[in-house]
Amino acid sequence: MANNSDLKVCLGCGEKSVRLLVDLGDQPTSNYFLADNDELSEMHSMTFGVCSKCGLGQLLDPIAPEAVRSRFEWLTYNEPEGHLDNLVEVLIGKVSSQGTLRVHGVTYKDESTLERFKSMAGADTYLLDQQTDMGIIDPLASLETIQRELTSDLTKELANKLQCADILLVRHILEHAHDPRTFFEACRNLCKPDGLMVFEVPDCRKILDGHDHCFLWEEHISYFTPATLKSFFENQGFSGVDISIYPYPMEDSLIAIVRNSQDSNSKSDSEVENELDRISAFASSFSVRSDKIRSYLQTLQDDGKKVALFGAGHLAVKFINFYGLSSYLIGVVDDNPNKLGRYMPGSGIPIIGSENLKSIYHQILSNKIKNTAFLLR
């Protein structure tokens, strides 16, 4: 049991009840691919814990937005969108607005949903502009900066300039917020009283239950499940939260539809024990999984085999650095032309193109290379 002085304030419920579960040590930012293998990565402490009151998994002391901001204009992240037609139909059915439906989007993640509202309901839509509405000038700034700049004072000003929305879309940014309760309050100002706010985040149950530690990422601060997402809004005084789950192979999309009408001061403790068990098992498996992976790679190495990793994304960065695998790998295979010739953050492992595999394959066939293995990440 942690001493009270060791506990952190929870990002979800505001209680001083977050205890440390996993200390990952100093880690590099995953989006800074090195120009050469002598270049040093910027390193930042990374720790993960859980709130004993509401069950929310979260990073402790996340690194500053400036350190997370991308250095490369070619680096982008895509979210699943196969569920958006259905989501828009559901939302249209929940609104009883007279006249033209007005829908706002908070970030570029909402642009494709706004287009659907236009085509399916003839809605009047508006997407907040990073520069003109938020004063964000840096073209490489993204969600890490928006979550900080979108304050209640700013959204009150925007609400005076814009007509408040019947439906406010907030896709894939709540998990990035360093202070999600304050961010939620800021978003409320953009939605009319009794309007709908739609928050979408990754459903983290698959990664937690699968003990896939590599999904911990410096850009995601909170790790929601259906139970903890519902609890988050109930702990802010909102009841009747509508939770939907849209399945996808890696992470399901988790959606909360919240009516902008504060009507409850009760704090939810539903399913807390289940969430605590889930996250505790996830955390306790870290050293066991790390040892097994290193032991397996050591066996390959002892047999004289060379090992390469497929895919130079942020999951691979975490896989290598969390488990300490740099000494076992000869390279990471990725055909993104912007990554070729660069080196992996933290480890300095070279990124090579798949055309090299043809040469390796032919050398294997001719018995010039007898021992080669590849890992998928």
Is 36 part of any domain? Answer: no
CATH of the domain at 362: 3.40.50.720
The pLDDT assigned to 361 comes to: 52
Cross-strand partners of 193: none
CATH of the domain at 197: 3.40.50.150
For residues 223 and 88, membership in a common domain is answered with yes
Is 342 part of any domain? Answer: yes
For residues 204 and 321, membership in a common domain is answered with no
For residues 109 and 216, membership in a common domain is answered with yes
The pLDDT assigned to 374 comes to: 47
End residue of a domain, out of 226, 245, 275: 275
For residues 349 and 267, membership in a common domain is answered with no
Q: Where does the pLDDT of residue 68 fall: very low under 50, low under 70, confident under 90, or very high at 90 and above?
A: very high
Is 59 part of any domain? Answer: no
Amino acid at site 20: L
d(C-alpha 246, C-alpha 366), whole Å: 48
**Locus of tokens 């990422």:** 217
Q: Where does the pLDDT of residue 359 fall: very low under 50, low under 70, confident under 90, or very high at 90 and above?
A: low
Strand positions, DSSP E, 106-238: 124-127, 165-171, 191-203, 222-223
For residues 260 and 340, membership in a common domain is answered with no
Is 15 part of any domain? Answer: no
Is 129 part of any domain? Answer: yes
Is 17 part of any domain? Answer: no
Is 328 part of any domain? Answer: yes
Q: Which residue segment(s) compose the domain that 304 sits in?
A: 294-376
d(C-alpha 243, C-alpha 233), whole Å: 11
For residues 320 and 270, membership in a common domain is answered with no
For residues 252 and 103, membership in a common domain is answered with yes
d(C-alpha 171, C-alpha 61), whole Å: 24
pLDDT at 371 > cutoff 70: no
For residues 129 and 244, membership in a common domain is answered with yes
For residues 261 and 201, membership in a common domain is answered with yes
For residues 265 and 353, membership in a common domain is answered with no
Is 311 part of any domain? Answer: yes
d(C-alpha 234, C-alpha 103), whole Å: 24
The DSSP call for residue 372 is E
The pLDDT assigned to 73 comes to: 94
DSSP notation for 33-89: -BSSTTSPPPEEEEEEEEETTT--EEEESPPPHHHHS-S-TT-------TTHHHHHH
**Can you read off the two tokens belonging to residue 22?**
């996993």
Model pLDDT for residues 2-35, shown as the tens digit of each residue: 556 689 999 999 999 999 999 999 999 999 999 9
Can you give the pTM of this predicted structure? Answer: 0.92
Model pLDDT for residues 160-188, shown as the tens digit of each residue: 999 999 999 999 999 999 999 999 999 99
Mean pLDDT, the chain, whole residue set: 91
For residues 357 and 242, membership in a common domain is answered with no
Number of domains making up the chain = 2
Residues 6+ apart with CB under 8 A from 210: none
Model pLDDT for residues 70-89, shown as the tens digit of each residue: 999 999 888 999 999 999 99
The pLDDT assigned to 265 comes to: 58
For residues 253 and 304, membership in a common domain is answered with no
